Amino acid sequence: MKVTELPIFHEISQGQKKSFLTGENFKSQDVLGVHQMVKDDTVYYIFRVWAPQALEVFLVGDFNNWQDTELMSKDEETGIWEITTNTPQQMDLYKYHITQLNGRKIMKIDPFAKKFEQRPGTAAVVYTETEKKWKDGLWRGRNKRIKHDKRPLNIYEVHASSFKHHSNGEPYGFKELKDDLIPYLIKMNYTHVEFMPLMEHPLDQSWGYQLTGYFALCSYYGTPEDLQDFVEECHLNNIGVIVDWVPGHFCVNDDALAYYDGTPQFEYTEEDRAKNVRWGSINFDLGKPEVQSFLISSILYWVEHFHIDGIRVDAVSSMIYRNYDDGPSTLNHEGGTSNLEGCHFLKKLNAVMKHKHPEVLMIAEESSSETKITGSIEDSLGFDYKWNMGWMNDILRFYEMDPYFRKDNFNLMTFSFMYMLDERFILPLSHDEVVHGKKSLMHKMWGDRYKQFAQLRNLYTYLMTHPGKKLLFMGSEFGQFLEWKFNESLEWADLEDEMNQKMQFFTSELNQLYKESSSLWELEDSSQTIEIIDADNRDETVLSFIRQGKKKKDFLVVVLNMTPIERTDFQISVPFEGTYTEIWNTEMKEYGGTWESHNIDCETFNNGGESEHIIKTIVPALGVIILKPTEIKMTRKK
């Protein structure tokens, strides 16, 4: 039954509708989608959908046997179709039956739906959110007071549906992840968990990166309330939650956003710009105001409704360069390859976020160096962090290499020092590096099984001691040998092996060392954060450097041996006279190595140079040692 009288609740002004069209409505889910209201003790629902070129729109669903009985009316000024009705009930399924501009009739999803039916169905659900009474005020208050760049940030990257499975093969939802994943994050000493996209998507093979529902938790993972409870429990245990989000392109499925009213509505008008050849998807027209309202509303909804602490924006390169894709491209009106609309959108997105939620981390997955990504809106795109893909590619290439050739390629280990302050970086050892035949991190390592574990410990220690925030993909922490499979659980059976158990323990202890060592994160935005001792020891292939905290005495000496040859009587130049104690050795027996005890304390001596302070110690084969000053005189070497 269609209601002709305007309801007294949930009234939306024409100005709110128009602000969606101008790109300035950042709560457009309050205007569009489905909303419940009560009048005269009767429950009504109002449905609104933006389809400016559609000829006719019907609301169809369980409540009318999917028949064209609920005709929606169009606001010609805004292109928004609307109906108020008491026919649907909570949890009914629905879609919009649209007659497109060319006369074609098609069932379309609600772009603003907050819940969808479980696959393989794609219908939206008539769903009213409940107001949660959050208990995470202490966490959120601390996040606002203490800047993120002055804290440790160590991220455990998770694909929610392949972390663990039930015995029947069904993946864990957020109810189970709350009971299982959160204690694991605590045990492993991570500061944050990052989920690959959680928004509604129809195909597991996309890993969530081809979305259909930008306001809906994927029904695969449970209810929105389940995710809220999970985030709250993380916060109560001092763990932040980051979610991947995909504003550059969307799923090509015909019943979703693609050519919604029969015209390029969400996508670019030019076919070569709309079509994303590389990923088989469709690119958003980021210059269109309505798309800006849609996308910025989406990200703010996730931050505000689920208390998300950070957003990793996927595929930024594809949004800021017109020639990034594999297909044909055209130049912009200035004759360049920059996607000017994409750059403007990202600046606007970050400006809005920093105005409303400055404590929320904005992270770019971006692989080029032509555009400044992090920093102020005036000087960059305005992100807080950028994934350091160059470091990741160089480092993995180096660790896969036979040590015989490493001395001739030592620059792969050290080149990142040249540009480490150009951006605020996160060092990612992510899902992308352990799939599609690339092999797991463990399997990439050179040599036999013992040497592979030794080098994995070496690699993770370098990750933790190199300037930049940290990210490691699930399963890598215990040295899973098989590469990641999106449709299977992690190889938890590996932990029946003693070496994998010790690798897991090693990662947990290393994460704790990172959290406790302010010198590893306190000055990361400054060149003072690191002092290179020796980056030119190619013959022995040993890299040594100092990580410095705010206090002069707060520093660590890091020495990495990249060959299977133990370096005895190895001399290291240190800044102050005194005693240095080894606090970390990757070859300790409890970590899977062979060393029963640490190196003895080192006393400085002078090797003939004026005021030169030298210590001598043993650096294990394929191992890393970290030394800390214990008793030093604050007379610095000249």
**Beta strands across the sheet bearing 73-75:** 33-39, 42-50, 80-85, 73-75
162 to each of 203, 489, 543, how far by Cα in Å?
14, 5, 37
CA dist 199 and 197 (Å) reads 6
- Gap between the Cα atoms of 12 and 112, Å rounded: 16
Q: Contact 31/16 with Cβ under 8 angstroms?
A: yes
**DSSP annotation string for 16-79:** HHHHHHTT--TTGGGTSEEEEEEETTEEEEEEEEE-TT-SEEEEEEGGGTT-TTEE-EEETTTT
Q: Quote the CA–CA distance of 282 and 291 in Å, as a whole number.
A: 13
- The rounded distance, in Å, linking the Cα atoms of 59 and 34 is 11
Rounded to whole angstroms, the Cα distance separating 155 from 481 reads: 21
Q: Which of 82, 309, 365, 577 is catalytic?
A: 365
What residue ranges define each of the domains in the chain, with the CATH number in brackets? 14-126 (2.60.40.10), 151-387 (3.20.20.80), 389-425+441-469+501-516+525-637 (2.60.40.1180)
Decide if 96 contacts 126 (C-beta within 8 A): no
Pairing of strands 469-473, 154-158: parallel
Contact assessment for residue 53 and residue 262, using Cβ atoms and an 8 Å cutoff: yes
Residues linked to residue 544 through DSSP beta bridges, in sequence order: 534, 559
Q: How far apart are CA 292 and CA 6, in angstroms?
A: 29
Give the alpha-carbon dihedral of 359, 364, 368, 369, to 10 degrees.
0
506 three-state secondary structure: helix
pLDDT of 393 reads 97
Q: Are 175 and 231 in contact (CB under 8 A)?
A: no
Q: Which of 171, 168, 193, 166 minimizes the C-alpha distance to 181?
A: 193
Q: What does the alpha-carbon distance between residue 634 and residue 636 come to, in Å, rounded to a whole number? A: 6
Are 390 and 474 spatial neighbours (Cβ–Cβ below 8 Å)? Answer: no
Contact 548, 186 (CB under 8 A): no
Distance CA 466, CA 624 (A): 13
- How far, in Å, CA of 113 to CA of 248, rounded? 20
- C-alpha–C-alpha distance, residues 114 and 96, integer Å: 15
Number of other CB atoms surrounding residue 498 within 10 Å: 9
- DSSP3 helix / strand / coil % (the chain, rounded to 5): 30, 25, 45
Per-residue confidence (pLDDT) for residue 406, from 0 to 100: 97
Catalytic position from the list 194, 314, 577, 587: 314
496 carries an active-site annotation: no
Of the candidates 585, 574, 565, 545, which has an alpha carbon nearest to the alpha carbon of residue 636? Answer: 574
Beta-ladder partners of 75 = 80
CA distance 403 to 414: 16
DSSP letters, 262-312, are SS-SSB-SSHHHHEETTTTEEEB-TT-HHHHHHHHHHHHHHHHHH---EEE
pLDDT at residue number 150: 86
Phi/psi at 180 (5° precision): -115, -50
**Phi/psi at 98 (5° precision):** -105, 135
Residue type, 515: K
Place of tokens 């306001």: 215
- What are the phi and psi torsion angles at 615 (to 5°)? -120, 160
- Reply yes or no on whether 272 is catalytic: no
Both tokens assigned to 533: 């001792």
**Token digits of residue 353:** 């976020």
Contact in structure between 434 and 476 (CB atoms under 8 Å): yes
Question: 3-class DSSP state for residue 342?
Answer: helix
Residue 4: the pLDDT is 35
What is the mean pLDDT for each group of 10 consecutive residues in the chain (638 residues)?
Answer: 40 88 97 93 95 98 97 97 96 98 98 96 95 96 89 97 95 97 98 98 95 97 97 98 98 98 98 95 98 98 98 97 92 95 98 97 95 97 98 98 97 97 97 96 97 98 98 98 97 98 98 98 95 97 98 97 97 96 98 98 83 91 98 73
* pLDDT recorded at residue 327: 86
Closest by alpha carbon to 313, among 295, 290, 330? 295
Query: Could you identify the residue written with the tokens 């040692």?
Result: 625
Q: Nearest CA to 572 among 631, 541, 535, 613?
A: 613
